[in-house]
Amino acid sequence: MEALIHEAANCAEDSESGIRDKDDADVCEKPSVCFSSNSTNTNHAMFDKLLSQSPVDISFQNIVYNAALGFRKGHKKILHNINGRFPPGQLIGIMGPSGAGKSILLDILSGYRKTGVDGTVLVNGVERDLRSFRKISCYIMQDDRLQPLLTVEENLLIAADLKLPAAISREEKMKIIQQIVEILRLTDSVQTIISELSGGQKKRLSIALELINNPLVMFLDEPTTGLDGVSCNQCLRLLKQLARQGRTIICSIHQPSASMFQVLDQVYVIANGNCLYQGSPANIVQFFEDVDASCPVYHNPADYVIEVACGEYGEEVVHKMLQLMEKGKSLTYVNGAELLPELNVLKERAIEESNNDDDENLQVTSQWNQLKVLLRRSWYKMKRDRTLTYMRIFTNIFIGIMLGIIFWEIGNDASRIKDNYNMLISVMMHHISPMMLLILTFPTEMSILIKEHFNRWYSLKMYFISVTLVDIPLSVLCCIIFTSEVYYMSGQPLELLRFAMFFSICVLIVLIVQSFGLMVGAVFDVVSGNFVGPAIAIPTMMFAGFPIRVRDLPNWLYWGCYVSYLRYALEAMAAAIYGMQRGKLKCPEDADFCIIAAPSDFLDDIGIRGDQFWEDVGALILFVIVFKISAYLLLRRKIMKLR
């Protein structure tokens, strides 16, 4: 272990002087990017802190994973009592054919997957405390879960404000970001919107965001997926450079090329949930000879081991590999295995060096800071989102004008009182539209939330509050625009109180449907949500009082009126327009007749009382609260269930 720590601490100096091997030297393409002992203390202070910390040795014993197949379908055993050891300062690749269990093993080691898992994960010889382990590790998932509307610099600043302690000044944060940008060769892209980055740049940015708080352990699921050959090699060499600073870096790789295979310090080959090989890439040829399955000359060992794992050379070879590896307990083919201390020695050192962690919070910064930063990020997104912001404003302007033209000056026309009532229904239907926007867009945001929440950027509570708060100004603005157009053009009573009552109901409807959209988006994917959302909204409309009056509903269906928020909204809107002892409406001279001229008579005809406005407002506020709480609980349940 002492040798490994010494190697990690002196990696920078070796890589600059050219002492290291070719693979390490190739990582440093620019002098300014390489880590050298001559670098300024200011630029590399963050890594000095890393090298002063104890490296992390990860081992696992008898890991079993049983996947649930569904209701009354039992379980399927995916991992079969496998063992392994991943020393610090190394780039370790978990390899295997599709469906072998690579990603599941990575999920288990990172702590992302907890249900259905048996066995023990040790950190420096001590059984892992997941809360403490998550504070020194990060998990970079296969797909690039990035905010597409932010620039590289904005993403990094947001990450720094969330992942670094508040005591660190903005200048120090900028120095850390500048260093990471140089290391990952993102200098020319700092002002570029994420959606315009290439696949390799997005992958490097995903790594950069998690490097902000300098984790000792990094897990990466298929970091080379979607990249070309050159980008794949650059990505792995970058990870190897980061590992040489003392980190433990573990990634899953499906089938690397020969050059990529040689970059790895250690490979862990898994097939059908069993360990077939654990050791250095340079020793795998000798391993094949030891199991009487020599790798053909000029054949890529990485390809050959996958072919063997798939059974193309017979099950007997696979059986010999399993026996020789002893379910991953054997370290015979691990370079420097004789230098690795026994786990009990590591345990003693870890106990001696450990400090009591009294901080129960997984997040680094306070909840107030999390909320403030998340609101700032949401503001950036809102300014640039053409669909959820600009199209939404334009739609409210356009639809408001169209409804105003259709229902022009009918508000005081006794001959068209039914048409005016239909206008109120049209207004309610328009305000339901934000529900579908959230159902369509929130599943994408959900994937980003899962990654950032697991990596301790922020608490779920602060995220949900920020999502709730940030949309209120835009919702109010859209309601003001739409309501003013429709209310004035349709000739409703020009009384401030009536307008305020009408406007407040519109805002409450929007808040309710947004909460309902979050509930659906948190539970279902886009396809299912597109079906579930309207399927629930239609009965809500039926119980609201159109096309059939509430009092005409069968007794056994009357309960639906109490759970339909649109019923309370329509009743409150009608009370705002026709209640409060409004005088008789005018009957135009050119009209044949006016059946109903008194607003109170019309309210009686449609089965609505005009004196229940505040009761309806209270009911709508209750719907907002219940739906918000339900959306939060469903979101929390979904995140826990995915793990």
Tens-place pLDDT, residues 448-460: 998 999 998 999 9
Kindly list the distances between the CA atom of residue 1 and the CA atoms of 6, 130, 132, 340, in Å, as whole numbers in the listed order: 9, 24, 22, 5
Residue 333 lies inside a defined structural domain of this protein? yes
What pTM does this model have?
Answer: 0.82
Residue 207 lies inside a defined structural domain of this protein? no
Residue 131 lies inside a defined structural domain of this protein? yes
List the domain range (segments joined by +) for residue 19. 12-136+215-353
Exposure string over 140-162, b if 16+ CB within 10 A, otherwise e: bbbebbbbbbbbbbbbbbbbbbb
Residue 556 lies inside a defined structural domain of this protein? yes
Q: Indicate if 385 and 523 belong to the same structural domain.
A: yes
| Cβ neighbour number for residue 531 with a 10 Å cutoff | 12
Provide CB contacts within 8 A for 591, sequence distance 6+.
413, 414, 415
Domain-ending residue, one of 293, 324, 353: 353
| Cβ neighbour number for residue 587 with a 10 Å cutoff | 16
In this predicted structure, what is the pLDDT of residue 545?
74
Q: Indicate if 408 and 346 belong to the same structural domain.
A: no
Structural element, H or E, at residue 15: helix 11-17
Give backbone dihedrals phi and psi of 89, rounded to 5 degrees, phi first. Answer: 75, 15
Provide CB contacts within 8 A for 529, sequence distance 6+.
439, 440, 443, 520, 521, 523
Contact 482, 392 (CB under 8 A): no
Give backbone dihedrals phi and psi of 274, rounded to 5 degrees, phi first. Answer: -125, 150
Rounded Cα–Cα distance for residues 234 and 221 (Å): 16
Q: Which amino acid is at 503?
A: F
Q: Indicate if 33 and 127 belong to the same structural domain.
A: yes
In this predicted structure, what is the pLDDT of residue 552?
72
> CATH no. for residue 252?
3.40.50.300
Q: Indicate if 245 and 348 belong to the same structural domain.
A: yes
Q: Indicate if 340 and 428 belong to the same structural domain.
A: no
Q: Indicate if 450 and 557 belong to the same structural domain.
A: yes
Domain-ending residue, one of 353, 388, 404: 353
Tokens (6 digits) for 278: 């654990």
Q: Indicate if 625 and 525 belong to the same structural domain.
A: yes
Exposed/middle/buried for 511, CB within 10 Å: 0-12, 13-18, 19+?
buried
Q: Indicate if 409 and 556 belong to the same structural domain.
A: yes
List Cβ<8 Å contacts ≥24 apart for 256-262.
Answer: 256/93, 256/95, 256/224, 256/232, 256/302, 257/229, 257/232, 257/233, 257/300, 257/302, 258/300, 258/301, 258/302, 259/233, 260/224, 260/232, 260/233, 260/236, 260/302, 261/300, 261/301, 261/302, 262/23
Q: Which residues of the chain have pLDDT under 50?
A: 1-51
Q: Indicate if 403 and 333 belong to the same structural domain.
A: no
Residue 193 lies inside a defined structural domain of this protein? no
Q: Indicate if 381 and 344 belong to the same structural domain.
A: no
User: Computed from CA positions of residues 369, 374, 380, 383, in that sequence, does the dihedral angle turn out positive or negative?
Assistant: negative
Q: Indicate if 495 and 560 belong to the same structural domain.
A: yes
In this predicted structure, what is the pLDDT of residue 403?
93
Residue 168 lies inside a defined structural domain of this protein? no
The number of distinct structural domains making up the chain is 2
Residue 176 lies inside a defined structural domain of this protein? no
